[in-house]
Amino acid sequence: MDRITPAARAIQAIGFQCIRCGSCCTAIEENSNIVMLSPQEIREIGKRYGFTWNEIAEPYPGVITDQQGRSFTIGWCLTRKESVCSFLSQKNVPDL
């Protein structure tokens, strides 16, 4: 079994209902395809299915910069490949 199938099921189990339509994760303009995740959701998916943090999530495009010039992400979103979520593909997304 591939690693994508159980990960997609885990995403569904934590409350997100992907119906493979691409509506929320296909870019229609820059950064319009952000699907937010909590750090806990990222850790759970990684622990259960062997994905690394960076395979699951990428930093939200906006950042906060402190007085010392350090940048911090304000959130996490599902990784994107080209203009869609990296988990959305005819080859690797199971019927849920």
pLDDT in tens, 10-44: 777 777 667 777 877 888 888 888 888 889 989 98
**Is 92 a domain residue?**
no
**Is 79 a domain residue?**
yes
Given this model, what pLDDT does residue 4 score?
65
**Is 46 a domain residue?**
yes
**Is 56 a domain residue?**
yes
**Is 95 a domain residue?**
no
**Is 80 a domain residue?**
yes
Name the domain count of the chain. 1
d(CA 27, CA 46): 25
d(CA 37, CA 57): 8
The domain of 26 spans 4-85
pTM: 0.64
CB atoms within 10 A of CB 37: 23
**Is 96 a domain residue?**
no
